[in-house]
Amino acid sequence: MKVGLLGFGKTGKAVASVLLEHNDFCLEWIYRKSSQLAHRSAAEFLDIHVQDPSEIISSEQICIEQLILEKPVDIIIDFSSSEAIHSYGEYAAHLGITIISAISHYTKQEISCIKKLGKLTKIFWSPNITFGVNYILFAAKFLKKINPYVDIEIVEEHFKGKKGISGTAQKMAEVLDLEDHKVNSIRVGGIVGKHEVIFGFPYQTIRFVHESISREAFGNGVIFAAKNLLTKPKGYYKYEDLLQEYFVQK
């Protein structure tokens, strides 16, 4: 599968390194705003010894539609910014290119745009594309479905400087329908990221815990999405849709 990546910040770099090291994917190009590193190969820059072209291209050189035309790909992975979808979405969708977006927040208008694109191609969006966080959310959601009155609290731990409640904890609270004060945020030292969902029953306790080790986890989340979309028809997909499948089939 030929892949194009949008965004080459800290997370973009980690995702690129995971894609480069995976044999089923060929990273054709990386498209970014900055002209820094332009024309260099991401593989060489990241010191990974593979043949993928992985050319770093700046939006100052060429518009994204032109790039897609010249160097076609099967999948576009979007780690750039929410408005980017307007610049490539329709064009890519008409060409049947699968879109995997890991943008944290979309406006209502952007979300409606994404859903429309699902009529033309496969489009997947997850604000936290890490596999583990989504699996825990899925398992927690059904645990609550089975026990609607169970007490639930969330503990999320991050490095000292992190502002506000983590986006992932907010999403969890939303899906589990928890009041704000049920999310407990710990901010100490250099903790990379830990999320714990605690289910308190009268005579037993269940905990789902996710610990992040490094940003490369986002790359693995992308690969999970890409592989699971392969056999799917056109449509708009969320993480839950891909996970659900494994439980439905006997």
Binding flags for a second copy, 147-176, as an x/- string (CB under 8 A): x--xxxx-x-x-xx----------------
Strands 75-78 and 55-58: unpaired
Query: Which residue in 204, 159, 152 sits closest to 174, CA to CA?
Result: 152
Strands 194-200 and 151-158: antiparallel
Find out whether 82 and 106 touch, Cβ atoms under 8 Å.
yes
Q: How many residues bind a second copy (CB under 8 A)?
A: 54
> If binding is defined by CB under 8 A, does position 66 make contact with a second copy?
no
> If binding is defined by CB under 8 A, does position 20 make contact with a second copy?
no
Q: Using the rule CB under 8 A, which residue among 108, 146, 163, 180 binds a second copy?
A: 146
> If binding is defined by CB under 8 A, does position 145 make contact with a second copy?
yes
Query: Least Å distance between CB 155 and a second copy?
Result: 6
Q: Using the rule CB under 8 A, which residue among 62, 95, 111, 139 binds a second copy?
A: 139
Q: What is the CB-side half-sphere exposure of residue 12 using CA atoms within 13 A?
A: 23
Query: Which residue in 29, 26, 48 sits closest to 39, CA to CA?
Result: 29
SS3 7: coil
* Tokens at 78, concatenated: 């979007």
Q: Using the rule CB under 8 A, which residue among 94, 115, 207, 238 binds a second copy?
A: 207
Write the CB contacts of 164 (distance below 8 Å, at least 6 apart in sequence): 185
Choose the binding region for a second copy from 53-61, 91-99, 169-177, 217-225 (rule: CB under 8 A).
217-225
**Contacting positions for a second copy (CB under 8 A):** 130-132, 135-136, 139, 142-143, 145-147, 150-153, 155, 157, 159-160, 184, 186-192, 198-217, 219-220, 243-244, 246-248
